[in-house]
Structures are given as C-alpha cells and as structure tokens.
Amino acid sequence: MYNKKSTISEKKFLKLKKIIKEINSVVIAFSGGTDSSFLLAVASQSPGEKVIAVTAKSPTYTGRELKEVKAAANKLGCRHIIINTNELEIEEFINNPRNRCYFCKKELFLKLISIKNKYKFDFVADGTNYDDLNKYRPGLRALKELGIRSPLAEAGLTKEEIRQYSELLNLPTWNKPDLSCLASRLPYGEKISKSVLKKIEKAEDFLYSLGFRQIRIRYHDPIARIELGKDEIPKILQYNNMEKIIRRLKRMGFEYITLDLEGYRSGSMDRF
C-alpha cells in the first residue's frame, strides 16, 4: 500500500507506527488539520492502542473550524473530548510578544496532561511535524518543558510526506489548507482582543463563502491585508469579487483593503 513514494518515506511511516505502539495509550491534541488528523488516524487504527482526541474551544479559533473538527473525529470513530481554553485571560498572551505561542501551548497542554492523568494514560502527543522543527515555533518550548511527544517529528515525517500518506489512507484532510490561530493575524506587539479576533474571523468567513480556500486576513489596524493561495489571486481580482469584498470588509470596520501579491505564506508575520 505504501509504495507510492520512496522507501525512505516508508521507513518513516513504519517508524511512526513503532513509536505509537511504544506509547500504548495517548491523549492527542486534535485540531482537525492535516497533521493531527493523520496522527489520530494512525494511532486509532493501531491494534490495542488507547486513544483520546482532545480539541480546545477557544476565542482564538473559529467556529467553522470547530464544526470541521467534530466531523473529522466522528469519521475516525475515536473518543473525542472538547475542552474550553481562554488565552485572553493570560496577560502575556494578550500583550502579543514574539513568544506568544509559548503561553498558549502551555495552558493547553497542562489541561491535556490533566486529562491524561485522569484516565491514567501514558502520554500526551501533538501533530508537530519535522518541518516545524526548522521554523519559528516558540510553542515547542512549552512542549519540551511538559514532556509532550511529537510522533510525526520523531519519525522525521515532513508536511509533504504526511499529505501523501493521508491521501493513501483516504483522509479528507490530505489537501486541507494550513490552519493557525486567529492571533497569528496580528503583528507582534499589537494587543489581542476578542473583538479584533471576531472581526478577523467574520472577514475570513466571508471570503470562504465566496469560494476561496487558503485565506489569511492579516490585521494592520485599520488595514486588512489579504493573503490567498497564489492560484486564487486571479479570482479575487475579478471586478465583482473585489467590489463585494471591499463593501463587506469596510462595513466590518476596515478602512483599507489590500491584497498581498506574494500570496499566502505560513508565518508571514514572523519576520524579524
């Protein structure tokens, strides 16, 4: 089954299965994205493996994503728990420093550790992949401090390999656009508030309703800088779409609506 790509990739997949077997019982942080869905699918299909998927309901994630997560967990047929987190009660997070994600991840994974202890499971794991280790990911420090496992990264699986194997496993998330929390739309140093996050969410939801797939509304008050997949840029430049987007986003309170001609880039706000 796993002969579509190189033997190196197959070795990584077999290594992942070995890691999961050794873990035995695990609470998985489940966002419903490509990485965590793949990890959850492999773990839940491993004989004898005990798995609980946990998703955080938070002001920093959209209602649209929560619905998709519930559907994905249900399709995989695994136990799924939704917990509440509120990063907006953490002063360090609200101030939006460059290591903002550290405070978010620490709060989340402390709660997952509590669930692990309650059910007497062995480990908590997340969907960090090997590529993430070479990017600016301040949240990884929290994972290391708390002893969280990252089986995909441990197996050396890259994002592209995870997409390839997800397709082979017939997971609908194999080509799902990258996810990130709404706070990542703001420049570091600009305070995060619930009203701003809702404003960004509504703007992105409107673009999704027009059929766009890979969307970020980067918030530079009072400017909305739109990032789209490069293949979608011609579509937004159609006159009818431009007029609809300008009218709707201005009604939401954005004074200027701009299009980033470089297109969507993961971590585009991380430039130092």
Q: What is the pLDDT of residues 61-73, one digit of tens each?
A: 998 899 899 998 9
For the chain, give the number of residues: 272
The domain covering 7-168 belongs, at the CATH homologous superfamily level, to: HUPs (3.40.50.620)
Tens digits of residue pLDDT in 154-187 = 999 999 999 999 999 999 999 999 889 999 999 9
Domain boundary assignment for the chain: 7-168, 182-270
Predicted TM-score (pTM) of this structure:
0.91
Q: How far is CA 58 from CA 29, 85, 92, 222, in A?
A: 14, 5, 16, 24
Mean pLDDT (whole number) for 36-53:
93
Going by their DSSP bridges, the two strands 256-259 and 123-125 should be labelled as: unpaired
- Mean per-residue pLDDT over the chain, rounded: 93
Pairwise CA distance, residues 143 & 105, whole Å:
7
